[in-house]
Structure 1
Amino acid sequence: MDNLAIRVEDVCKVYKLYDKPSDRLKDALGLVRKNRFKEHHALNHVSFEVKKGETIGIIGTNGSGKSTILKIITGVLSPTSGEVEIDGRISALLELGAGFNMEYTGIENVYLNGMMMGFSREEMDARLDDILKFADIGDFVHQPCKTYSSGMFVRLAFAVAINIDPEILIVDEALSVGDVFFQAKCYKKFEDFKAQGKTILFVSHDISSVAKYCDRVILLNKGDKLAEGNAKDMINLYKKVLLKNSDKITGGKILENDASDGKKLWKSNYQLNPDVNEYGTGEAEIIDFALIDEYGNYTNCIQKGTSFTIKSKVKFLSDIQDPIFTYTFKTVQGTAVTGTNTMFEKVGIGMAKTGDTYVATFRQNMDMQGGEYLLSISCTGYVGGEFRAYHRLYDVVGVTVVSDKNTVGFYDMNSEVTIEKCDE
């Protein structure tokens, strides 16, 4: 352990799932011979090491075991089997506010949590100003926590957890608390920890942050350690897991998904929005669509700066003159960021006859900032100078843009920057 901060060796975590509470009681009392439970393997023989000073990311779909392994490392849970060794003081940002007494004031909870972490009152006195400055909730620190808004509560909980000068920082989706300004402060503190050579174990669904900060990434899937390596390779593998191709895993690899495969609908590769806003005149129908990355894989996770393709397949149920194929990207708040259509691009098909099917293919580079977006597609046109929507699918699928370099606003200008020293 000389150069290791964390060593996880062959860790398993198995939960017993009972159909009825009475079955749990009978099993605990040894009153039944036959097992009345099912075993759920949250972790299956997971092993990895974290060197001192490394920033390691853990990614995976919901239910893959990410939070479970962090709780075992921090001692919140005990493994069913296997060993965990820690060398260094840990601060864990898992369930913010756990251990807070809602009847106590903010100040009282600061000291209470400090004692739970093993600090004396004098040590907490020395840290109090930094904690209160970071939380920035004003005189509310002297009020009972039950009077706090949810935003104030998580700000104080985060401030306590992150200002105790740990040697190992463990973060589980906790950097997205509060408003945008507080989030910026959290990420600045995170970067300060990294610059100081602290050991960081980082779990997040924000793939852009994983790509930006992590030296190595561990990919979990359904309790198994699927792979471990650099951020780019693991994110590419994760993209395929997101597309529910985990049944194609063989020997730690996921087989390529050829976007030219016409045996099933393209859209079956995506988790579609169950509340999609769909409408139109019914004269045309969008029967399929796809997003395809630079490698030819169906995916809704695109690396910023790479080329990608959007396909829209439309079947015409009436004769339509000069139909227009469109797509638009919006933020999750509903702001249209960018998009185009075949009219803008000066690409037309003339008359589409009843029964005809056309595929519109849009190829471009992804220059939007890293983040979460919603894709809308449609087939529209003009009849007698009046606009007509034949079929629209608003917010049909979510799209994640992965980036390790974001600029201001929604779009990257892709500036080429030089700095030269000159004489006055």
Structure 2
Amino acid sequence: MSSDKNMAIKISKLTKRYSLYDKPQDRFKEALNPFKKSYHHDFYAMKNVTIDIYKGETIGIIGKNGAGKSTLLKMITGVLTPSLGSIQVNGRIASLLELGAGFNPEMTGLENIYLNGTLMGFTDEEMHSKIDAILEFADIGEFIHQPVKMYSSGMFARLAFSVSINVEPDILIIDEALSVGDMAFQMKCFKKFQEFQEQGRTILFVTHALDTVIRYCNRGIVIDAGEKICDSSSKEAVDVFKKLLTGNFYPDKDQNENQESAKYPSGQLFKNSFPSNSEMLEYGNKKALIYDYGILDKSAMPMTLFDHNSICDIVVKIRFNDKIIAPIVAYSIKDSKGLEITGTNTLMKSIETGSYTEGEEVEIRFKQELNLRPGAYALSLGCVTINQNGVEVYNRLYDCILFEIIGGAEMVGFFDLGSEVTVER
């Protein structure tokens, strides 16, 4: 254990190396080769990582898929053995690494509670005293007496999390398992997190919900390609991760300065900077074509991750294939459930868009304050006109850009109306 009594976990120069073989027989050839010839190449899932985690901290670990986050947690909990380095843990760990891990699918939920307790070092008598609290939190009713192979992913998460928090851990480690639960259950879990924080317990979890990191964590760690690239406040860690996602993260200061002063390359289409959405729907007679589009941050760079209340430009570039008079350019935003929650167009804003002949182009920009509730959204665009036959659609792109709002703002509904509250006595 660490000599520092306030230390919960001490990680020193941690490395996890895997030997990868191009063909299965290469492993056999390497084992029998009299000259110790190597047939493999090394892959480092974790490389020389050092982290000190103190009692009472709530730490969010973020990174792209395959960055090494889960590998780190598995080594902390003893599921994986480090190739190099050391891990010292001070306290009892309860972990929820993978959905259903430690559960026997043929046994009932109740039997699995006792099984998990045994794995954690509790006697049946000790687990019996915790059963009522576990069942109350899990709230899965009569399914507790059914084999867990019948459970939905949400029921698995409920039971596994309930067991983890009710064995009185000093350190709680969670890897994305809560993402499968419904909203009410997630709120219940985060309320329990707050209770743990007040009790001075350590929480360590991996998540892709960046607003959760900002809201609940007092520290954030960013992992990329097996290396720790940021260990700072939760807000700064999220900012670093945003740069990482968009290819704008440079550890070197001079490179950062150059990046910040850089402009988006002229002549390059904005839309090519955004991940393609296979569910995008396009239709229209193409008399006017939306040939480029994007959401730009305050630095005029394409972005899919925005802080709550930040300013952005929604850019729509149109090429005309016919004579068009006063086209109406519009955008709308849907939430993750497909509900259209806001939008506007040039007609609503009383903007004269002009007249165009074949071959001409125009760029329309909507400057917006993103006061939406943190979450995932989809942007749709359109170019239409209204004539005696009704609405004539030149070009519509549904769900052409998927983006996310992050931040610690809490509100009811979809928008923050910017309320200012005063109290007078």
Name the CA shift for 1:175/1:365 in 2 (closer, same or farther; >3 Å): same
Contact 1:285 1:316 in 2 (8 A): yes
Secondary structure of 1:10's counterpart equals strand
1:107 is displaced (CA, Å) by 1.0
Change (3 A) 1:149 1:235: closer
Equivalences for residues 159-198 of structure 1 within 5 A: 159-198=162-201
Per-residue CA deviations over 1:237-271 (Å, capped at 9, x if unaligned) read 2112112445x554697533745432522222221
CA shift in 2, pair 1:94/1:404, >3 Å:
same
Q: 2:62 aligns with which of 51, 59, 62?
A: 59
Q: Give the TM-score of the pair, scaled to structure 1.
A: 0.93
- State which drifts further: 21-30 or 190-199: 21-30
For the aligned residues, what is the CA RMSD? 2.0
Q: How far apart, in 2, do the equivalents of 1:228 and 1:169 lie? A: 19
Are residues 1:380 and 2:381 paired?
no
Where does 1:236-255 land on structure 2 (aligned, <5 Å)? 236-245=239-248, 250=252, 255=259
- Assess if the C-alpha contact under 8 Å between 2:384 and 2:395 holds in 1: yes
1:359 equivalent in alignment to 2:363: yes
Retained in 2: the 8 A contact 1:100–1:109?
yes
Q: Which moved more, 1:64-73 or 1:227-236?
A: 227-236
Cα pair distance change 1:237/1:352, threshold 3 Å: farther
Q: Distance in 2 between matches of 1:141 and 1:173?
A: 23
Structure 1 segments unaligned to the other structure (5+ residues): none
Counterpart of 2:309, as a letter, is G
Please give the alpha-carbon distance, in whole angstroms, between the structure 2 residues aligned to 1:118 and 1:30.
44
Q: 1:312 aligns with which of 299, 309, 316?
A: 316
Q: Which residue of structure 1 lines up, in the alignment, with residue 398 of structure 2?
A: 394
Secondary structure of 2:70's partner? helix
Indicate whether 1:405 and 2:409 are aligned: yes
Matched with 1:42 is 45
Q: 1:145 & 1:109 partners in 2: Cα distance?
A: 8
Structure 1 263/351 Cα, relative in aligned 2: closer, same or farther at 3 Å? closer
Distance in structure 1 (CA, Å) of the matches to 2:79 and 2:19: 18
Residue 416 of structure 1 is matched in structure 2 by: 420
Q: What displacement does 1:124 show?
A: 0.8
User: Aligned partners of 2:28 and 2:197: how far apart in 1?
Assistant: 47
Match of 1:101 among 104, 110, 125: 104
Q: Deviations over 1:262-301 (max 9, x none)?
A: 2522222221213311222111222222212234432111
Higher mean alpha-carbon deviation, 397-406 vs 108-117, is at 397-406
Structure-2 separation of matches of 1:197 and 1:292: 41
- Shift, 1:87, TM fit: 1.1
Offset, 1:385 = 4.7
Distance 1:202 1:149 in 2: 22
TM-score by length of 2: 0.93
2:287 paired with 1:283: yes
Give the corresponding residue for 1:340: 344
Deviation at 1:67, TM superposition (A): 0.9
1:209 aligns with 212
Deviation at 1:179, TM superposition (A): 2.1
Aligned to 1:142: 145
Offset, 1:9: 1.4
When residues 253 and 217 of structure 1 are mapped into structure 2, their CA distance, relative to the original with a 3 A threshold, is farther
Percent identity (aligned): 44
> What are structure 2's unaligned runs of at least 5 residues?
none
Question: CA offsets per residue over residues 360-395 of structure 1, 9 Å max, x none?
Answer: 111121111001111111222224352122122211
Letter in structure 2 aligned against 1:17: L
* SS of structure 1 residue aligned to 2:25: helix
Q: For the residues of structure 1 that align with 2:424 and 2:106, how far apart are their CA atoms?
A: 59
Residues 13-62 of structure 1: per-residue CA shift (max 9 Å, x gap): 12222222222333345578432223222112111211111111111111
Conserved in 2, the CA contact under 8 Å of 1:90 and 1:167?
Answer: yes
What letter matches 1:203 in structure 2? V
Deviates more, 1:143-152 or 1:156-165: 143-152
1:197 to 1:358, Cα distance in 2 relative to 1, 3 A: same
Q: Is the 8 A contact 1:259 1:292 kept in 2?
A: no
Q: Which amino acid aligns with 2:75?
A: I
Report matched runs for 1:250-261 at 5 Å.
Answer: 250=252, 255-256=259-260, 258-261=262-265
Helix, strand or coil: the match of 1:227?
strand
Closer, same or farther: CA 50–57 of 1 in aligned 2, 3 Å? same
Contact 1:259/1:298, CA 8 A, preserved across alignment: no
> What is the distance in 2 between the residues matched to 1:28 and 1:388?
71
CA contact (8 A) 1:26 1:32 kept: no
Q: 1:342 to 1:274 in 2, by over 3 A?
A: same
| 1:148 shift after superposition | 2.7
SS in structure 2 of the partner of residue 409 of structure 1: coil
- Tell me the distance in 2 between the aligned counterparts of 1:30 and 1:383: 80
Q: In 2, distance between residues paired with 1:257 and 1:325?
A: 31
The residue matched to 2:193 in structure 1 has which SS? helix
| Residues in 1 aligned to 2:7 and 2:31: alpha-carbon distance in whole angstroms | 39
The AA in structure 2 aligned to 1:84 is I
Q: Secondary structure at the match of 2:415?
A: coil
Query: In structure 1, how many angstroms separate the alpha carbons of the residues matched to 2:226 and 2:400?
Result: 30
